[in-house]
Amino acid sequence: MSVGRWFGYGAVLVAASVTLVGCGPAPEGGSTEAASESCVRMVTNSGGLEDRSFNQASWEGLQRAEDELGVEAEAIVSTGETDLAPNVQQAVESGCELIVTVGFELADATLSQAEANPDLAFAIVDEVVEAENVKPVIFDTAQASFLAGYLAAGVSKTGIVATFGGGNQPPVTLFMDGFVDGVAKYNEVHGTAVQVLGWDKAAQDGAFTGDFEDINKGKALSESLIDQGADVILPVAGQVGEGATAAALERGGVSVIWVDSDGYESLAAEFRPVLLTSVLKNTQDAMVEIVGAVQDGSFSNEPYVGTLENGGVEIAPYHDLAPLVSPALDGEIEGLRQAIISGEIVVESPSAP
């Protein structure tokens, strides 16, 4: 068994907690025979439950499972690196039959507890852990980012768009690869030469802030990209991306493509005027599906891979910036979506799941 290093955002964990009654402690000696199907425990990594990323989305999915499937959920939010393994152990000792962990930082603890508790079901979001009782929940975001790149090229007035990441990690660069390829497709179709700043797909290198929390770094980098002519920016950097929205709002004439969640709904309302769309990971549906599988006995370790075909990834509505998107451009994007779903277009990336 091995751990695949599919990176999730962040490093420093923020304290918060949500507790719902339902599960008692595990029997002494760590036996899981009395584990209940009526509850689930989720252990977060960075940013707490309102990180506007996959912690929040995973928790929203478990809250939906409470409403739809009757399961009771608790989120255990870590406060630092030393909390990770103890928090997964705490989740196991709850007696719940399903344990959900979020991000690469929890991979080792998830693997260790999964091996020690083969009768429990584990799911890990945005990371691959190879074990008989662990289901990876991952997303082929390059597919949706391809659409976002095509859109960005189509609305750009300067002929220059940009992207940057929090760190050079596979699920970050997967967005960036798809975005660059989408711009290239637009150029191919329209005979244009829209340029992408911030990412060289061939070299697999580009612009990174080095973390996922310092909004000021995101703003400074975005201002630099704007100074070079970029008028559409895709930040793949968790909370750091808020710096891009702040820079776009201040400079004017610049729009932002958010990632993971619909930024129009998850970010402060003041940023809505600059949000063109978002590249979505539908973690919520995955959580409900997994809870249901544990309840009906169909749970397996086969990875859940979100794609355009199964609705696991998508781009959000254009919201306030819909007037920038002509009916012709919107129609082209819909055609590309169908071509990717049918396999006519294959969006490739060395970081693809």
Confidence of residue 46 (pLDDT cuts 50, 70, 90): low
What is the C-alpha to C-alpha distance for residues 186 and 194, in angstroms, rounded to an integer?
8
Is 0.75 surpassed by the pTM of this model?
Answer: yes
Question: At 217, which amino acid appears?
Answer: K
Name the pLDDT band for 275 (thresholds 50, 70, 90). very high
Closest-CA residue to 207 (of 186, 184, 230):
230
Q: State the average pLDDT over residues 156-160.
A: 98
Q: Is 50 helix (H, G, I), strand (E, B) or coil?
A: coil
The half-sphere exposure of 170 on its side-chain side, counting CA atoms within 13 A, is 18
Residues in the chain: 353
pLDDT at 47: 62
Is the Cα torsion angle 246, 138, 152, 225 positive or negative in sign?
Answer: positive
What pLDDT, in 10s, does the model give residues 291-335?
999 999 999 999 999 999 999 999 999 999 999 999 999 999 999
- Residue 32 predicted with pLDDT over 70: no
Identify the band that residue 183 occupies on the pLDDT scale cut at 50, 70 and 90.
very high
Residue of higher predicted confidence among 1 and 350: 350
CA dist., res. 101 & res. 147, Å (int) = 29
Give pLDDT, residue 82. Answer: 85
pLDDT of 50 reads 73
Query: What does the pLDDT look like over 130-146, one tens digit per residue?
Result: 999 999 999 999 999 99
Q: How big is the chain by its Cα radius of gyration, in Å?
A: 20
As a whole-number percent, the residues of the chain with pLDDT over 70 amount to 88
- CA separation, residue 97 to residues 92, 123, 295, 302 (Å): 8, 11, 9, 18
Mean pLDDT of 227-251: 96
Mean pLDDT of the chain: 89
